[in-house]
């Protein structure tokens, strides 16, 4: 990234805060046919948008899914849609249509929303970790501990308790005894999501000096768009109760469409 300034003498005064009117966003370097990669990002974005919108629609329309757990699941799907929308359309506009100039205020706004939804994704995964922890360690008290009120409070206090919840989870892990096949089965989907979200980011930043620039850009861009696409598949669509609700909703819609032509005839 580089910036363009309209005043060549602006840098002479050390006490002046320099706020360039525009930034020039540079992309991949010396890679031919990169437009196909951006088209691929667009395809992933569309799948993410459709999948997460479908999840939110089913949860909203089916009253049996109005449970504490699905408050967090709905919030995760909503955050995934917003996070992808905050980045992918702007990236496509910049590099597919060569509009790589972005104003100072637009750049800060984009950064704000991208990091806002990335942080919310982390917090949503932490809330879902808490849900699985209670389900495994205190199954008989699950419905007493995981309530609509508790989930709403956790979601609403995301920015205040984000760091605290992560540290608390790490501390609690050291006090757990790891056993039986059922616990692994219960946490498999969540662990896959956590690995997909955190491993590429940690890999990129820890090995930053030895990873080529192009590889870093590809890794980070896929980290932002792949988890929102995979979340509905890995976490939600593997849940038996959600699949049953989705089947009922789709069958009901199909039956309604079949009745309408019959009535008109």
Sequence ranges of the domains in the chain: 33-244
Per-residue model confidence (pLDDT) at position 11: 43
CA distance 171 to 169: 5
Per-residue pLDDT, 33: 80
Q: Which residues of 134-146 are buried (b: 16+ CB within 10 A; e: fewer)?
A: bbbeeeeebeeeb
The secondary structure of 81-137 as a DSSP string is HHHHHHHHHHHHHHHHTT--EEEHHHHHHHHHHHHHHHHHHHHHHHHHHHHHHHHHH
* Measured distance between the N- and C-terminal CA atoms of the chain, rounded to whole angstroms: 64
Looking from the CA of 207 toward its CB, the CA atoms found within 13 Å total 14
In this prediction, residue 53 carries a pLDDT of 92
Q: pLDDT tens string for the chain (265 positions)?
A: 554 544 444 444 444 556 667 778 777 777 778 788 888 888 889 998 998 999 899 888 888 888 888 888 888 888 889 888 888 888 888 887 877 788 877 877 787 778 778 888 888 888 888 888 888 888 888 888 888 888 888 888 875 655 455 455 545 555 655 456 666 666 777 777 777 778 877 877 787 777 788 888 888 788 778 888 877 777 666 677 777 887 888 888 777 776 655 554 4
**What φ, ψ does residue 256 adopt, rounded to 5°?**
-65, -40
Q: Residue 214, Cβ neighbours under 10 Å: how many?
A: 14
pTM of the predicted model as reported, rounded to 2 decimal places: 0.64
Residue 10, pLDDT score = 46
Topology adopted by domain 33-244 = Rhopdopsin 7-helix transmembrane proteins (1.20.1070)
Backbone phi and psi for residue 204, each to the nearest 5 degrees, phi listed first: -65, -45
Angle, alpha carbons 163-202-125 (nearest 5°): 45
Say what the pLDDT of residue 170 is.
46
pLDDT score, position 225: 81
Strands 2-4 and 22-24: antiparallel
């Amino acid at each position: 990234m580089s910036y363009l300034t309209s005043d060549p003498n602006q840098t002479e005064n050390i006490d002046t805060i320099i706020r360039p009117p525009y930034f020039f966003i540079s992309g991949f370097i010396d890679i031919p046919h990169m437009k196909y990669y951006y088209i691929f990002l667009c395809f992933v974005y569309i799948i993410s948008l459709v999948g997460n919108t479908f999840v939110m629609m089913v949860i909203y329309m089916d009253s049996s899914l109005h449970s504490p757990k699905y408050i967090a699941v709905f919030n995760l799907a909503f955050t995934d849609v917003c996070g992808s929308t905050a980045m992918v359309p702007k990236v496509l506009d910049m590099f597919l249509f060569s509009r790589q100039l972005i104003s100072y205020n637009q750049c800060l706004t984009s950064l704000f929303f991208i990091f806002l939804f990335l942080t919310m994704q982390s917090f949503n995964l932490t809330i879902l970790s808490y849900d699985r922890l209670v389900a495994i360690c205190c199954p008989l008290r699950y419905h007493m501990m995981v309530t609509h009120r508790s989930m709403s409070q956790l979601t609403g206090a995301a920015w205040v308790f984000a760091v605290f919840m992560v540290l608390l989870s790490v501390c609690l892990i050291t006090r757990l005894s790891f056993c039986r096949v059922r616990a692994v089965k219960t946490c498999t989907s969540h662990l896959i999501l956590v690995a997909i979200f955190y491993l590429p980011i940690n890999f990129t930043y820890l090995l930053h000096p030895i990873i080529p620039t192009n590889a870093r850009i590809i890794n980070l861009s896929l980290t932002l768009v792949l988890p929102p696409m995979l979340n509905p598949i890995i976490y939600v669509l593997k849940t038996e109760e959600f699949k049953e609700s989705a089947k009922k909703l789709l069958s009901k819609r199909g039956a309604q469409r079949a009745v309408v032509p019959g009535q008109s005839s």
